[in-house]
Structure 1
Amino acid sequence: MSTAPNPIDLQRHLSMVDYPASKDDLIDAAREQDADEDIIEALEAMPDRQYDGPSAVSQAINRL
């Protein structure tokens, strides 16, 4: 992946997530919200763990 997705778009597609959430929960939620492939790919590339909130997701994606 060359660039991280726009953080506003990312959080818009994850707005319905109840945290803490697993990587798979985040991917499923993004797909349900018709997220772009860039967002799905970024979520798939994150470490497989529990995320406490939106900032933890953004931090994980920015480290890719």
Structure 2
Amino acid sequence: MASIVKRNKSFGVVYTSYEGGKQKQHWEPYHSYEAALHRKEQVELIQKSGRRGYKAVLII
């Protein structure tokens, strides 16, 4: 699951992935809420599909 966090004038998407059997937290900053929401939906779709240890790629 991913979440959106507001920091000053930007938004961050925070999510957890598994790399090499270890849990790792990722933080991706965005300048608009719409871009952050789009990325959050992408991350949740990838996580729902059950793929672990993926390298996240932003597709606009």
- Comparing both chains, which one has the higher relative contact order based on Cα–Cα distances under 8 Å and sequence gaps of 6 or more? 1
More strand per residue: 1 or 2?
2
- TM-score tier, shorter chain, comes to 0.3 to 0.5
Larger radius of gyration: 2
TM-score, structure 1 normalization:
0.32
More helix per residue: 1 or 2?
1
